[in-house]
Amino acid sequence: MQKVDQVIRLLVVDVIREKWGDPPGEAQVQVQKTRREFIGDFTVVVFPLLRYSKLSPEETGNVLGKYMVENSPMVSDFNVIKGFLNLVVAQSYWKEFLDGDLQSGSFGTIQADRESPLVMIEYSSPNTNKPLHLGHIRNNLLGHSISRILEATGNRVQKVNLVNDRGIHICKSMLAWKKEGNGEDPESTGKKGDHLVGDYYVKFDQMYKSEVQELVDQGKSREEAEAGAPVLGEAREMLRRWEADDPEVRTLWSTMNEWVYEGFETTYRRLGISFDNTYYESDTYKLGRALVLKGLEEGILYKKEDGSVWADLEEEGLDHKLLLRSDGTSVYMTQDVGTAHQRYEESGFNSHIYVVGNEQNYHFQVLAIVLKKLGYQWADKLYHLSYGMVELPEGKMKSREGTVVDADNLMDEMEATARKMSEELGKLGEYGEEEKNRIYRQVGMGALKYFILKVDPKKNMTFDPAESVDFNGNTGPFIQYTYARIKSVIRKGESIEKVTGAGKMNEKEIGLVRMMYEYPDILKEASRTLNPSLVANFLYELAKEFNQFYHDHSILSADSSDQVSLRLLLVEAIGRIIENGMELLGIEVPERM
């Protein structure tokens, strides 16, 4: 069906051509959703059209409105308020829309083809010195949901992960294990590998602080002590040996990283996260280093007396950026240069999105500038989705001090909370244990994912596990429960023959259809702005409106068979959109709760 706003724009152009001469372009006609306090579905902004009509705003609006009612079956009524023409869309249009477009399982989505833009999206990007934590959960959920939304709006998408498996932080865990590990491993301890390695990262920090305090007690300044702690020097030496391919260091590194990878994979599966390709910093930093050295040879970069290599960014209003240390070892920027180059060579992406927290804003600003300086014009295709931090009610988390909220522990807590809430509400009493456990998992994970994704990515947020599992309010469980209610109605109405075109719609039914009409635009805007919260909050509003309708109107015992048929079609359409939208958020919807 033709979209209402497109028809309205064409009608406005027709009116102006017929009554006042040369019309504006269709794109210049401003059409927006009518504000709640006014009667109408769509509003034409009249003020820009006065140059054609040479009339007052009210007179212009009345001429336009009268023409549309008389010449289009789509417009049934109008009113003009201070230069805004509010149009009422005819019930026949909404009825046809319900019987047609809304009965499609793919409503709102666009299928990509070979010519569609290729978007590469990097998310997760963990360090192999610690397990995934609450901050990683926001990163992964954002990246995965945005990937699905981009796919649903006609893009080809490649989901990629960059594992930060080298660097001083990795050597800290390795050194602590070497000093105090006594040969233990995940099997001997019964711990997930990423948890075990993370424990040694915390242990290194404890060793380091102890040495710093000793040096301070011996009369050194705090600054001297922090720079001169022996264990930090050992970690730096281990990194140098790693980059020199020392067999002993490389073997330990490989062993401990394998422990971590197995742990990560378990967590990813539980989160429902996947990738099309995984890159490793230990590979890409070499390419980055070669590109930096090439830039040095060509005079684009410069070397200091100590042998370190830098980029001068003063012309861009920034400072000087280190790209290779004096001992020849690489920094994060080096490997990101190499990774970006490799990915573009492999795919020729149309755009590349980095899902990384806002503390790295400067890093990605510099990355694009350095790549441009090195001659890569495709650096303009890089985009940093800078998201806000996630905290708990108690405040910030710190990895090296062991005060982070572990992702696995949080997921356990979410499922336990879902179990407790469900048992208190008595919702699953008649179900078998296996089905109960499946629903507890779906509700717990749905609560976690929705609570995080309903917040605009650019905003900082506080995650409250108990609040997220509430079956009332703007939560995942509320929407899941609504979907289960919808499926229950559909099951009970399975024997009823549904006839399109039957029944007359009341205002509440029209309101629900009007809401669903907006779904494709919500998806497009969520795709354009990389903002899953638009989808999440739309689903909440739709679920809320459906529940009000369910409370006020009987569905299966309506006054006539035509009304029952219409309402079943309406309920099925709402269920499909909720299922589709929740899938874009990575959330399962139970058919029974």
DSSP string, 181-200: -TT--HHHHT--HHHHHHHH
Nearest to 338 by CA among 561, 162, 514: 162
What is the C-alpha to C-alpha distance for residues 584 and 564, in angstroms, rounded to an integer?
A: 30
Pairing of strands 156-163, 277-280: parallel
What is the model's pLDDT at position 394?
A: 67
Backbone conformation region of residue 80, classed left if phi is above 0, alpha if psi is from -120 to 50, else beta: beta
Cα(175)–Cα(177) distance, integer angstroms? 5
Domain count for the chain: 3
Tell me how crowded residue 386 is: count the other CB atoms within 10 A of its CB: 16
Alpha carbon of residue 26 to chain centroid: 34
| Structural domain contains residue 171 | yes
* Beta-carbon count within 10 A of 452 CB: 26
pLDDT at res. 161: 97
Pair of tokens at residue 249: 């260091």
pLDDT for res 459: 96
Query: Could you tell me if residue 525 is inside a domain?
Result: yes
CATH number at residue 56: 3.30.1360.70
Contact in structure between 153 and 110 (CB atoms under 8 Å): yes
Q: What is the CA radius of gyration of the chain?
A: 29
Give the CB-side neighbour count of residue 95, counting CA atoms within 13 A.
18
| 312 and 215, same domain (yes or no) | yes
Quick: pLDDT tens for 359-382. Answer: 999 999 999 999 999 999 999 999
Residue 354: inside a domain = yes
Q: Are 584 and 152 in contact (CB under 8 A)?
A: yes
pLDDT in the model for residue 466: 80
Closest CA to 136 of 413, 374, 409: 409
Summarize pLDDT for 307-348 with one digit per residue, the tens: 999 999 999 999 999 999 998 888 889 999 999 999 999 999
Last residue of a domain, one of 89, 113, 139: 89
Same domain, 278 and 252: yes
Q: What's the burial of 193, exposed, middle or buried (CB within 10 Å: 0-12/13-18/19+)?
A: buried
Query: Do the Cβ atoms of 589 and 480 come closer than 8 Å?
Result: yes
State percent of the chain over pLDDT 70.
98
Whether 402 is covered by a domain: the verdict is: no
Q: Which residues of 53-91 are buried (b: 16+ CB within 10 A; e: fewer)?
A: bebebeebbbbbbebbbeebebbbebbbbebbbbbbbbb
Domain termination residue (choose one: 333, 357, 391):
391
CATH of the domain at 467: 1.10.730.10
Please tell me whether residues 417 and 449 are part of one structural domain.
yes
Residue 79, φ and ψ in degrees, nearest 5 = -150, 155
Which of helix, strand or coil describes residue 473? coil
Tokens of 91: 């019930």
State the residue range of the domain holding 26. Answer: 4-89
Q: What is the pLDDT along the chain (593 residues), one digit of tens a residue?
A: 788 999 999 999 999 999 998 888 888 899 999 998 999 999 999 999 999 999 999 999 999 999 999 999 999 999 999 999 999 999 999 999 999 999 998 999 999 999 999 999 999 999 999 999 998 999 999 999 999 999 999 999 999 999 999 888 999 999 999 999 999 999 999 999 999 999 999 999 999 999 999 999 999 999 999 999 999 999 999 998 998 999 999 999 999 999 999 999 999 999 999 999 999 999 998 999 999 999 999 999 999 999 999 999 999 999 999 999 998 888 889 999 999 999 999 999 999 999 999 999 999 999 999 999 999 999 999 999 999 998 877 655 444 444 568 899 999 999 998 888 888 777 677 788 888 899 999 999 999 999 999 999 999 999 888 888 888 899 999 999 999 999 999 999 988 887 777 778 999 999 999 999 999 999 999 999 999 999 999 999 999 999 999 999 999 999 899 999 999 999 999 999 999 999 999 999 999 88
Residue 278 DSSP one-character state: E
* 317/269 same-domain check: yes
Beta strand ranges found along 329-439 (DSSP E): 351-357, 382-387, 390-391
Is 416 in the same domain as 369?
no
pLDDT at 72: 95
Give the pLDDT of residue 402: 46
Instruction: Decide which of 391, 425, 458 is a domain's last residue.
Output: 391
Question: 322 in a domain, yes or no?
Answer: yes
pLDDT of residue 403: 54
Short-list 523, 522, 471, 448, CA closest to 272: 448
Residue 283 lies in a domain: yes
What 543-550 contacts at long range (C-beta under 8 Å, 24+ apart), as own/partner pairs, is 543/478, 543/479, 543/482, 543/483, 543/578, 545/511, 545/512, 545/515, 546/482, 546/486, 546/512, 546/571, 546/574, 547/482, 547/485, 548/508, 549/508, 549/509, 549/512, 550/485, 550/489
Sheet with 351-357, edge to edge strand ranges = 277-280, 156-163, 118-122, 351-357, 382-387
> Which pLDDT score is estimated for 592?
87
Query: 271: domain CATH number?
Result: 3.40.50.620
Buried b / exposed e along 414-431 (16+ C-beta atoms within 10 A): bbebbbebbeeeebbeee
Residue 101 lies in a domain: no
399 lies in some domain? no
- For residue 349, how many other CB atoms are within 10 A of its CB? 21
Backbone phi, then psi, for 88, in 5-degree steps? -100, 120
pLDDT at position 427 is 67
